[in-house]
């Protein structure tokens, strides 16, 4: 059976990664969380003092990019985890602090170039589901299936709030809502590869959709594409 490329873009906290993982598992495809790669570069920049609440030295980060090596490795449950220069940083990249600094990092052209190149090479054989912001527009403009996921900001903030609390991270709903709205703003207005809907993407607003129905709907689209029906 032919292996297609599936691009899942959309706003933050719309459940992109959940659907992408389910699809990859079901189809036996590789799943790539491109946001984890931007988060990993952000953690590197924070650790090296290139970014904090008061400043961001993009030049220093750019000069140091050659020293950043990212890879995904499967843990013993078969789940992909991200490694930065050989260190497992899967947990460290999910904090609110990283979420706050990731948007400015993701505006840097050189960062995007490096990550996009790696993403394209990971998906060059097809049989990949990748989620992010620019997958259907920049990374795989020829992807056979492009989904753009969205939901209202309060719905997304509520989901993210619950997720953080369940992980034991102390945060208020208001803080999360502010972060979600700020990231939307930065992601859609940046000059380099802003979050935008590809012309041939299918828009899925899941504010009021249950995850199972959503999965089956997208899976059917994928099956149609694989069979060459659409």
Minimum CB distance to ligand DC smaller for 109 or for 203: 109
Angle at 145 between CA 140 and CA 150, to 5 degrees: 95
Residues 96-155 that bind ligand DC (CB under 6 A): 102-103, 106, 132-135
The footprint of ligand DC on this chain (CB under 6 A) covers a number of residues equal to 14
Between CA 72 and CA 156 the distance in angstroms is: 27
Minimum CB distance to ligand DC smaller for 123 or for 132: 132
Q: Mapping DSSP to helix (H, G, I), strand (E, B) and coil, where does residue 73 land?
A: strand
Region near ligand DC per CB under 6 A, out of 35-43, 57-65, 76-84, 209-217: 35-43
Rule CB under 6 A: say whether 187 interacts with ligand DC. yes
Number of C-beta neighbours around residue 202 at 10 A: 15
DSSP secondary structure string, 87-143? EE-TTGGGSHHHHHHHHHHHT-HHHHHHHHHHHHHHTTTS-EEEEESSIIIII-TT-
User: In this chain, which of 29, 38, 101, 161 binds ligand DC, going by CB under 6 A?
Assistant: 38
Q: How far is the CB of 1 from ligand DC (least distance, A)?
A: 27
Q: Which residues would be at the binding site for ligand DC (CB under 6 A)?
A: 12, 34-35, 38-39, 102-103, 106, 132-135, 183, 187
């Amino acid at each position: 059976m032919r292996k297609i490329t599936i691009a899942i873009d959309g706003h933050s906290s719309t459940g992109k990664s959940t659907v992408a993982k389910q699809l990859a598992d079901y189809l036996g495809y590789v799943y790539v969380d491109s946001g984890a790669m931007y988060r990993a570069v952000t953690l590197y920049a924070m650790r090296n003092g290139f970014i904090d609440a008061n400043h961001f030295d993009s030049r220093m980060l750019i000069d140091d990019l050659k020293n950043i090596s990212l890879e995904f490795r499967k843990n013993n449950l078969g789940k992909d985890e991200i490694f930065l220069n050989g260190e497992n940083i899967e947990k460290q990249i999910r904090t609110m602090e990283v979420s706050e600094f990731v948007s400015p990092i993701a505006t840097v052209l050189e960062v995007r170039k490096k990550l996009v190149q790696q993403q394209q090479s990971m998906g060059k054989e097809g049989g990949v589901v990748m989620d992010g912001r620019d997958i259907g527009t920049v990374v795989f403009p020829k992807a056979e299936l492009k989904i753009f996921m969205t939901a209202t900001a309060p719905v997304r903030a509520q989901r993210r709030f619950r997720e953080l609390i369940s992980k034991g991270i102390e945060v208020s709903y208001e803080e999360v809502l502010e972060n979600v709205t700020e990231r939307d703003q930065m992601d859609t207005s940046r000059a380099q590869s802003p979050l935008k809907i590809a012309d041939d993407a299918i828009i899925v607003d899941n504010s009021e959709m249950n995850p199972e129905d959503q999965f089956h709907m997208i899976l059917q689209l994928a099956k149609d594409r694989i069979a060459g029906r659409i």
